[in-house]
Amino acid sequence: MEQKNKEILVWCSKNSYIRSMITDLEHFGNIPVSTSAVASLFSELKAGNQKVRNLELAGKIIRLKKGLYVVAPQVSRIPLSTELIANHLYAPSYVSMQTALRYYGLIPEAVYTTQSMTLKHSRNFDTPLGRFQYQQISREAFAVGITYINKQNYSFLIATPEKALCDLIANSPQVNLRYLKDVETFLEEDIRMDMEEVKKMNLTLFQNYAQVGKKASSIETLIKYLKK
């Protein structure tokens, strides 16, 4: 009977600890965190990193890359944000191109790769949450036309619609907008932009980008098209 009581106490203690640990994980929300941050939940244990690995195997956390995790949504009770993850996965960076245009509802097609611009070398990451693609951009062009989107519990950096369109043009090797008809074909047929929204875009942002970004002549043709 005494042995049985000890087993019950051990079981209760263990499950109480697990419940406490899950509660601590919830505090991270959907913000990506380092191995050391997760391991800090087990500061009293010598094998904290192994506990992190066990949490991953149990599906409580998701490994994005070496040393970076995000709490599974069934634990955090907050939906994951691929835009937020993209900012943390490879920084400094901001979400852009077709991903941003789709986020704003300016193009109809789903985008299955999260596209971003970065000051670092271009790179791709394949994760359990999909592919994250990063294109290098100059420091001068990086600063033009980016904004924070604020949600209830987090925020992320993303291109404005104008900047996303410029980045897409500048980083699409097959796109060369020499004539106004080229612009029309690209917008209406190639990416199927919402043309009513295009007409509302801020010309100053396009002009600022043309001064510091790649494919200035294509961006200038786009400006001429929007002015007509």
Confidence band of 44 (pLDDT split at 50, 70, 90): low
Q: Which of 76, 98, 120 finishes a domain?
A: 76
The whole-number pLDDT of residue 40 equals: 85
Cα 212 to Cα 125, 186, 217, distances in angstroms: 28, 22, 12
CB contact burial 11-40 (16+ within 10 A = b; e otherwise) = eeeeeeeeeebeeebeebbbbbbebeebbe
Does 112 lie in the same domain as 204? yes
The whole-number pLDDT of residue 8 equals: 31
Does 139 lie in the same domain as 43? no
Taking only the tens place, the pLDDT of each residue in 159-180 is 999 999 999 999 999 999 999 9
Does 222 lie in the same domain as 113? yes
Taking only the tens place, the pLDDT of each residue in 181-207 is 999 999 999 999 999 999 999 999 999
CATH code assigned at 66: 1.10.10
From CA 216, how far away is CA 72, in angstroms rounded? 43
Question: Using H for helix, E for strand and C for coil, what is the string for the chain?
Answer: CHHHHHHHHHHHHHHHHHHHHHHHHHHCCCCCEEHHHHHHHHCCCCCHHHHHHHHHHCCCEEEEECCEEEECHHHHCCCCCHHHHHHHHCCCEEECHHHHHHHCCCCCCCCCEEEEEECCCCEEEEECCEEEEEEECCHHHHCCCEEEEECCCCEEEEECHHHHHHHHHHCCCCCCCCCHHHHHHHHHHHCCCCHHHHCCCCHHHHHHHHHHCCCHHHHHHHHHHHHC
Question: At residue 48, does pLDDT exceed 60?
Answer: no
Question: At residue 22, does pLDDT exceed 60?
Answer: no
Does 221 lie in the same domain as 171? yes
The whole-number pLDDT of residue 49 equals: 76
Confidence band of 6 (pLDDT split at 50, 70, 90): very low
For the chain, give the percent of residues with pLDDT over 70: 87
Does 92 lie in the same domain as 7? no
Question: At residue 1, does pLDDT exceed 70?
Answer: no
Instruction: Compare 14 and 138 and report the one with higher pLDDT.
Output: 138
Does 102 lie in the same domain as 60? no
Does 86 lie in the same domain as 70? no
Q: Which of 45, 76, 107 finishes a domain?
A: 76
Number of separate domains in the chain: 2
Reported pTM: 0.88
Are 150 and 83 in contact by the 8 Å Cβ rule? The answer is no
Does 129 lie in the same domain as 25? no
> What domain range is 114 assigned to?
82-227
Question: At residue 141, does pLDDT exceed 50?
Answer: yes
The whole-number pLDDT of residue 73 equals: 96
Are 155 and 148 in contact by the 8 Å Cβ rule? The answer is yes
Question: At residue 152, does pLDDT exceed 70?
Answer: yes
Q: What type of residue is 218?
A: S
Does 155 lie in the same domain as 51? no
Taking only the tens place, the pLDDT of each residue in 26-38 is 989 999 999 989 9
For the chain, give the percent of residues with pLDDT over 90: 79
Does 119 lie in the same domain as 67? no
Does 33 lie in the same domain as 88? no
Q: Which of 41, 76, 111 finishes a domain?
A: 76
Q: What is the mean pLDDT of residues 88-105?
A: 98
Place of tokens 């033009």: 144
Does 168 lie in the same domain as 102? yes
From CA 228, how far away is CA 224, in angstroms rounded? 6
